[in-house]
Chain A
């Protein structure tokens, strides 16, 4: 073989190899190292990022919930009467049919201040028949300013059996009571 050609054949792959070595050492190697390091850091951060995203989602849901709760609270506070005192209680109770119950006493304990409203307790004692008592409860429920009942004490003064017609056909006996009732009505008013 021609020695000149042999030298050329050897030199070209050598130069190509040298060029590739230089390219790898100076460019591709550092770039790949950077990519490897970045990959490692990314996988380490992956979990934290997932928890941040999860937290963001939860916070958004909570923000929606809070705004819903706020508007619900506003609505509930809006339903409360601005002014409410013993005069209103007496007027309200006098609206109930006087024949239905015999009032014994009305006691007005100290009002309790809550965060959003003032509780105005009223201790009401009266006597009535059991049906009258049920009607009284129904009347209280129908008022626009509906009180709540925190405690109740009922004593049967007397009882008698009475015939009751059920379904317009069958007649059954039912005990009818005369009751002494003591209950605490709680009215709520806006806090000033």
Chain B
């Protein structure tokens, strides 16, 4: 036997089962995004930020000690550099180095000039000699300047002798470079 509902449509009652199922399905579908984006995600973000903040604070706490340690290491490196520099200075003034300087002094001498005396107190040279004309002594000065070994080459005096001979005196500085500690070398010998 078939049942007929003769009430108008708006007065008809929907089947309770159907509406409940729809609501339940909607609720079930809403649970996952609501849980994820409404609870889990903000909590997780806050936890992550707090963890990051704690780690940052931990890092920043190291700063004073780290600065102190860095300065100590810097001073240590500076001291070692100066100690190696003392060795370097000794090596720089090797006989071979002097040999090359003497070679330069002799090779720069133009024809018609001869050396009389040479004094050096480490970096400052005082050179005296004789030549036939004053222009020859200045040519020697130019040659020394152009050799690249000396700097501040300066004629101190030229004395004209009676027999057309000229004696001259000039001074110059040895172009010494600061003893530099070559780190490539230090790395090469590092264990």
| Given A68-B190, A71-B190: A186 and B95 interface contact (C-beta under 8 Å) | no
Taking the closest CB of chain B, its distance from the CB of A162, in whole angstroms, is 12
Contact of A137 with B122 at beta-carbon distance under 8 Å, contacts A48-B60, A62-B77, A69-B186 already known: no
On chain B, the residues within 8 Å of A147 by CB distance are 95
User: Contacts A69-B77, A152-B118, A175-B109 given: A31-B186 contact, CB under 8 Å?
Assistant: no
Q: How large is the interface on B (under 10, 10 to 19, 20 to 34, 35 or more residues)?
A: 35 or more
As a 0/1 sequence over residues 41 to 76 of chain A, the CB contacts with chain B under 8 angstroms (1 = contact) are 110011011011101101100111111111111011
Residue of A with least CB distance to B70 = A59
A188 near B95: Cβ-Cβ < 8 Å: no
A114 within 8 A of partner (CB): yes
User: B53-88 interface mask toward A, CB cutoff 8 Å, 1 = contact, 0 = none?
Assistant: 100110110110011011001101100110110110
Q: Smallest CB-CB separation from B90: which chain A residue?
A: A148
Q: Which of A42, A70, A75, A173 has the most CB of B within 10 A?
A: A70
Q: Tell me whether A146 is interfacial, beta carbon within 8 Å.
A: yes
Q: Contacts A59-B73, A151-B122, A153-B119: A73 and B187 contacting too (C-beta < 8 A)?
A: no
Could you tell me if A76 and B186 are in contact, using CB atoms closer than 8 angstroms?
A: no
A21 interface residue (CB < 8 Å to B):
no
- Smallest CB separation, A180 vs chain B (Å): 9
* Partner among A65, A71, A116, A153 whose Cβ is within 8 Å of the Cβ of B183: A65
Q: B53–A42 contact, CB under 8 A?
A: yes
Interface residues on A, range: 35 or more
Q: Which of B42, B114, B116, B190 contacts A35 (CB 8 A)?
A: B42
Instruction: List residues of chain B with CB within 8 A of the CB of A156.
Output: 114-117
**Of B90, B92, B106, the contact of A130 (CB 8 Å cutoff):** B106
Residues of chain A contacted by B46 (CB below 8 angstroms): 31, 34-35, 38
Chain A residues with CB below 8 A from B76, complex form: 66
* B77 adjacent to A149 (CB under 8 Å): no
Task: Give B73's nearest chain A residue, CB to CB.
Answer: A62
Give 16 pairs: A residue, B residue, CB < 8 Å, sorted on A.
A31-B43, A34-B50, A35-B42, A49-B60, A59-B73, A66-B73, A66-B76, A66-B80, A68-B190, A69-B77, A69-B84, A71-B190, A116-B86, A140-B95, A141-B99, A188-B90
Binding site for A on B (CB under 8 A): 38-39, 42-43, 45-46, 49-50, 52-53, 56-57, 59-60, 62-63, 66-67, 69-70, 73-74, 76-77, 80-81, 83-84, 86-87, 89-96, 98-99, 102-103, 106, 109, 111, 114-122, 181, 183, 185-187, 189-191
Per CB-CB distance, the 9 closest pairs between chain A and chain B, nearest first, are A68-B186, A38-B49, A140-B95, A69-B80, A148-B93, A68-B190, A154-B118, A141-B95, A137-B99
